[in-house]
Amino acid sequence: MEIKMFQFQQHGDHRGQLVALEENNDVPFDVKRVYYIYDTGKGVRRGFHAHKCLKQILIAIKGECKIHLDSGYETAEVLLNKPYEGLYISNDMWREMYDFSEDAVLLVLASELYDEDDYIRDYQKFIQFVDNKGEK
């Protein structure tokens, strides 16, 4: 499976680091929404869904967590632990997030506003969705 990781430019000097993200420049879509996940309990696993349309970039701006990706025919595990690294997740990818460190803050840049109807939360429906797109 091809993993799309973005290495963002760090503007560092003697004061520390700064990363700036511009839509359609550093991020390959219009950013319509930003959310972040923090205070995740030990052993918690989140996600368990894919999307019909939504594209996202996940950045562990503090601490670390792992992402399980499933395209319907291949799986991969990605460790996010750098605040200047972003994982691109296309809509048609089943995702689960786990192994959050206590201090983890996972920032997400999203291409669409929140829409519960965009979620595919049933794994068999996800497989059907991928099949229907001829990607399997």
Q: Which of 11, 14, 49, 68 is catalytic?
A: 49
In this chain, which stretch among 9-17, 32-40, 76-84, 126-134 interacts with ligand T46, using CB under 6 A?
Answer: 32-40
The residue from 6, 47, 62, 98 that contacts ligand T46 (CB under 6 A) is: 47
In this chain, which stretch among 5-13, 33-41, 70-78, 79-87 interacts with ligand T46, using CB under 6 A?
Answer: 33-41
Assess 46 for contact with ligand T46 (CB under 6 A): yes
The answer for 39, left when phi > 0, alpha when psi is -120 to 50, beta otherwise, is left
Stated as kind and residue range, the H or E segment containing 12 is none
Q: Which of residues 72-101 bind ligand T46 (CB under 6 A)?
A: 95, 97
68 labelled catalytic:
no
Assess 36 for contact with ligand T46 (CB under 6 A): no
Neighbours of 102 (CB within 10 A): 9
In this chain, which stretch among 11-19, 20-28, 30-38, 127-135 interacts with ligand T46, using CB under 6 A?
Answer: 30-38
Q: Which CB, 17 or 77, lies closer to ligand T46?
A: 77
Residue numbers at the binding site for ligand T46 (CB under 6 A): 33, 35, 37, 46-47, 56, 95, 97, 108, 114
Active site residues: 49
